[in-house]
Structure 1
Amino acid sequence: MDFKEIIKYDDLISVLDNFSYITGISANFLTADNQWVENKKKGTCGFCMLMKQYYQNGEACRNSDLAGAQTAQKKKGVHVYRCHMGLVEAVIPLFFNNSYIGALFIGQILLEPPTEEMWQEVFKKIKDQPLDIEAARRSFFNLTHIDHEKLQSVLDMMHIVAKYILDSEMIRISSLSSIEKIIEYIKNHYMEDITLDDLAKMVYLSPTYLSYLFKKQLGITFKEYLINIRLKKSKELIETTDLSIGEISKMVGIEDQNYFSRLFKKKFGVSPLNYKKDKYIYDIYKKNANT
């Protein structure tokens, strides 16, 4: 699924842009399936762009980012760390109904002005790589640097941004879109063993929240909706085929025929067997009336 289906993309870009503009620090978002949503105003720092393009084919940067996101996800809280080049980055994970939906990244930055000594440590790592060393040096000395006190203020603002994103429901599939997809799936797979957990994974929602959406938008629970679909189909099969009640019960995904019969009678006011008999009598009457 394209991450733009679960993110209000333009709204998120606007938030990231404003955060970057106010703080002077790049802010980006990594989705749960590891796709980047990057701010447009500041983008990624020049030094990091060079590293991602030319240092170890970008693998070191990707591994560092993924490790940072995974640690933040496990901690369920902000994670501040140094990347493989010694730059500081902060990550805050976002959860919606206990489901991890991605992480906000800020950085990379330095906590003190860049020095020749710091550059030499970087140079040792990149000197044999196929990149423009002089361009890397210039971009390194242009890195944003802030002190620890300002970093804490930035992190506090980052928490506010994260809360705003969640409270405004900026990141999640729209309720209507989720239910429409689930309904379509149920109509095509009602005869299979369908669980709420499986459906929730399909639309990147927690089972609890998906259950809430069903009740809110359809007025019934997921289980009730699935049973209604199965009973409606069974009624059609009784009307249009000569299959036995047991065969029909299994065809609509209900293995226990007695349970199926109870559900059918509760829904239509008559047992499936009697409904079948009534249908048979009606067919004979209709046939005779037409002769």
Structure 2
Amino acid sequence: MDYKEIIKYDDLISVLDNFSYITGISANFLTADNNWVENKKKGTCEFCTIMKNYYKNGEACRESDISGAQTAQKKKGIYVYKCHMGLIEAVIPLFFNTSYIGSLFIGQILLEPPSEKMWEQIAKKLDGQPVDVQRARESFFKLTFIDQEKLKSVLDMMHIVAKYIIDSEMIRISSLSSIERIIEYIKNHYMEEITLDDLAKMVYLSPTYLSYLFKKQLGVTFKEYLINIRLKKSKELIETTDLPIGEISKMVGIEDQNYFSRLFKRKYGVSPMNYKKDKYIYDTPKKNANT
């Protein structure tokens, strides 16, 4: 899934750029599927660019970022931490209802001026890595540093920006609510022929994006969800009516009775015919022994 199909890319870049310009601190966005949307004006600092390109093939940076986002997601609030190189980063998770849609990051900064003592700790980690140490050192001493008071103000601004991103539907959050409309439609029309293309047109989304939303929101594909609804309804009909299995199969939108039987057995562990027989045995009143 191309994350640019989900994000109003230019609008988000503009917000990140403005935040970075006003605060002097880099702001970037990590999507729910771990793709970066980076500001253009400030970008990623040179020191971090070097680390991402040459230090442990960038894996240490990636693990640190994803771990930060996951912790913030669990906390459901802002999380300030030190990355693997000792730089300060802050991350705030964004949710629509209960759906996680990504994280806003700021960093990388120091809370005191860079010093030789701090550099020595970093230099030890770079030993044996294919890093241009002199260039890394020069970029380290150019890192932005702020005091605790300014950090508090920056974090307040992060909350405002995060709320603005959600309220302005910059992550196409409106499309997430489309799933609710589609679920309601399927529940009322499961007996009819339903295609992903038809549903996508109904809510003005591309089939690819709608397919992504289904998997993201419900944990199953559109086809799996539709089949589960049909099988659930068929089970109810077997339990509450004496209709033939073939007729029930058609009533829930599955024309091929053999296909229906395979699906039913796969889900419930018993064929619909045997399920009906068991239901008949248990539901038939026992005759009085004296009659």
* Shorter-normalised TM range: 0.5 to 0.7
Deviation at 1:14? Answer: 0.2
How far residue 248 of structure 1 moved from its aligned partner, in angstroms, is 2.4
Residue aligning to 1:236 = none
Quote the sequence identity (%): 69
Is the partner of 2:106 in helix, strand or coil?
strand
1:85 CA displacement: 0.4
Consecutive unaligned residues of structure 1, counting only runs of 5 or more, are: 190-197, 208-222, 231-243, 256-291
Residue 188 (structure 1) aligned with residue 190 (structure 2): no
Note the alpha carbon deviations across 1:243-277, whole angstroms, 9 max, x for none.
Answer: x6445225438x9xxxxxxxxxxxxxxxxxxxxxx
Per the TM alignment, residue 48 of structure 1 is displaced from its structure 2 partner at its CA by: 0.3
SS at match of 1:187: coil
Aligned CA distance change for structure 1 residues 203 and 175 (closer, same or farther; 3 Å): farther
Alignment of 1:165-204 (within 5 A): 165-172=165-172, 174-175=174-175, 178=178, 187-188=194-195, 201-202=213-214, 204=216
CA distance in 1, matches of 2:176, 2:112: 49
By how many angstroms is 1:202 displaced? Answer: 1.8
1:108 aligns with 2:108: yes
Distance 2:149 2:176 in 1: 44
Per-residue deviation, 1:98: 1.2
| Secondary structure at 2:84 match in 1 | coil
**Cα distance in 2, alignment partners of residues 96 and 177 from structure 1:** 9
Cα deviation for residue 178 of structure 1 reads 4.9
For the residues of structure 2 that align with 1:173 and 1:23, how far apart are their CA atoms? 27
Structural mapping, 1:1-291, within 5 Å:
1-172=1-172, 174-175=174-175, 178=178, 187-188=194-195, 201-202=213-214, 204-205=216-217, 245-249=247-251, 251-252=253-254
Structure 1 letter corresponding to 2:126: I
Query: How far 1:188 sits from its partner (Å)?
Result: 2.8
Cα offsets for 1:130-186 (capped at 9, x unmatched): 11110000000000000000000000001000010111111125549957x968997
CA gap of 1:140–1:247, structure 2 versus 1, over 3 A, is closer
The 8 Å contact of residues 176 and 213 in structure 2, kept in 1 or not, is answered as no
Structure 1 segments, 4+ long, off by >2 Å, are 172-179, 181-186, 198-201, 203-207, 244-253
- In structure 1, C-alpha distance between the alignment counterparts of 2:218 and 2:249, rounded to whole Å: 35
Q: CA RMSD in A?
A: 3.4
Q: Which runs of 5+ in 2 are unaligned?
A: 197-209, 220-225, 234-245, 258-291
Structure 2 length normalisation: TM-score?
A: 0.66
* CA gap 1:135/1:8 in 2 versus in 1, 3 angstroms: same
Q: Using a 3 Å threshold, how does the CA distance of structure 1 residues 176 and 43 change in structure 2: closer, same or farther?
A: closer
2 CA distance for matches of 1:247 and 1:33? 38
Q: Calculate the TM-score normalised by the size of structure 1.
A: 0.66
CA contact (8 A) 2:47 2:140 kept: yes
Aligned mates of 1:36, 1:245 — CA distance in 2: 52
Aligned counterparts of 1:2 and 1:178: Cα–Cα separation in 2: 19
Aligned partners of 1:203 and 1:169: how far apart in 2? 20
Deviation at 1:49, TM superposition (A): 0.3
